[in-house]
Structure 1
Amino acid sequence: MPIRIALVEDDQPVALALQQYFALAPAITCEAVFPNAEEALRRIPKLAPELLLVDINLPKMNGIEFVGQIVQRCPGILCLMLTMYEETPLIFDALKAGACGYLLKETPPHEIVAAIEEAKAGGSPMTPLIARRVVSFFQKQPVPPPAAQSGEGLTDREREVLDLLAQGYLYKEIGEIMGISTHTVNSHNRHIYEKLQVRSRGQAVAKYRGLAE
């Protein structure tokens, strides 16, 4: 069965060119074109396409905001960005909003069709330049020290404090349970934060639970 898609694109020549190409592509059925996010939000829930091609630069609500809303209203819908913008912050904002992939408008139509099929099959298609930017971003991130990665740097007492923190006990209560002063609990807590490379109780507990699994 052809993949049922819709476009959210305000550039009429671009939308028309894509529609004409998709009409010749047996793998795709383009069921609608929406010139703005507001109209798309009204009509897409009833239309229920499988995938949306979404531009970022829309007249009022932008495409990233639209994706964030439509994936909440229509769980399971796929949103594939198709835009001229290649800035790294926009790429990550779109992906965090719920986009499954990111293509530039210079992508040839047959590659857009292939990307739609890839997304439908569970992939996350990206224009090669975009994929390289994503990889470069992560390569530039600092690597945590071994103790932060493995959790092996925590002492038995620090692990005991962290176990109690994870159960929701206050510092004073932890001190009473362990037979130590609140000052000592604070000292253990500072060392835990340093070793796990975190800044809050919630982050420490989340990382500790991840390490313990």
Structure 2
Amino acid sequence: MNKKRIIIFDDDTTRRDSLSMLLNMCPDMECVGAFASAADAVTHVAQTEPDMVLMDIDMPRGNGIDGTSRIKSAYPLLPVIMQTVFDDNQNIFEAIKAGANGYLLKKTPPDKLLEQLREAFDGGAPMTGTVAIKVLQFFREEPVSPSYKLSEREKDILKLLVEGHSYKMIAAKSNIAYYTVCNHIKKIYEKLHVNSATEAVKIAILQRLV
């Protein structure tokens, strides 16, 4: 089995070391780089060729949101998962606008963190529960924008994507087959004019679609 390659950006040395050790203990993932700043994020990505980035938000040199934006500009298909102690609205939505594929709090237990990283590799957009709640509150508080002619089933599936569920989890929660979920998501992408779950979630949030 080829291990998924992950790099870490976090200015906390102890946390970098702990995350590196955790990933390297996994049979299906490994840490191929750990850095204290996102100032040279694109260079580090080019050098390490990762399959995923774990990005801290609050770093004194090289902000994680700016780093994510630069990475996504250069590598739009590379998943970036934000990790932070903050769950305030501004950080959440700035991270999503920057192109983040998920948003996890640092207090997430190790086993849950690994599960959510695997979900991200499987096409999901994982979010810690409190973050997902804030996202849904944002939808309820803001005016509804054009629907893009999404069906009710497509809206339900898009909502589950926004909540951070993988395709497999969406199939289970919706009581439909995995391939049916894939077909619905393909249609959602066509209607939103996007090519990935990250872009779909971003439009759903910015346009208040669910």
TM band (smaller chain): 0.5 to 0.7
- Partner residue, 1:48: 49
Q: Is the 8 A contact 1:45 1:74 kept in 2?
A: no
Distance 2:144 2:36 in 1: 44
Distance 1:18 1:116 in 2: 12
> What is the SS of the residue equivalent to 1:38?
coil
- Partner residue, 1:78: 79
Distance 2:98 2:76 in 1: 13
- Partner residue, 1:3: 4
Q: Give runs of aligned pairs for residues 1-213 of structure 1, distance below 5 A.
A: 1-143=2-144
Distance 1:37 1:104 in 2: 18
Amino acid across the alignment from 2:40: E
CA separation of 1:34 and 1:149: change in aligned 2, threshold 3 A: closer
Amino acid across the alignment from 1:79: V
TM-score (normalised: structure 2): 0.66
Aligned residues: 147
Amino acid across the alignment from 1:132: I
Where structure 2 has 5 or more consecutive residues not aligned to the other structure, the ranges are: 149-210
Percentage identity across aligned positions?
Answer: 34
Amino acid across the alignment from 2:112: E
RMSD over aligned Cα, in angstroms? 1.7
Q: Is the 8 A contact 2:41 2:70 kept in 1?
A: no
> What is the SS of the residue equivalent to 2:39?
helix
1:60, distance to aligned residue in structure 2 (A): 1.9
Q: Is the 8 A contact 1:8 1:36 kept in 2?
A: yes
Distance 2:147 2:50 in 1: 42
- Partner residue, 2:207: none
Q: Is the 8 A contact 2:119 2:126 kept in 1?
A: yes
CA separation of 1:28 and 1:143: change in aligned 2, threshold 3 A: same
1:131, distance to aligned residue in structure 2 (A): 0.5
Runs of 4+ in 1 over 6 A off after TM superposition: none
1:138, distance to aligned residue in structure 2 (A): 0.4
Distance 1:20 1:45 in 2: 22
Q: Is the 8 A contact 2:52 2:79 kept in 1?
A: yes
Amino acid across the alignment from 1:55: D
Distance 2:82 2:12 in 1: 14
> What is the SS of the residue equivalent to 1:136?
helix
TM-score (normalised: structure 1): 0.65
**Residue deviations 1:6-46 (CA, integer Å, cap 9, x gap):** 00111011111111211211121111101111233322113
Q: Is the 8 A contact 1:31 1:49 kept in 2?
A: yes
Distance 2:20 2:44 in 1: 18
Answer 1 or 2: higher relative contact order, Cα 8 Å, separation at least 6.
Answer: 2
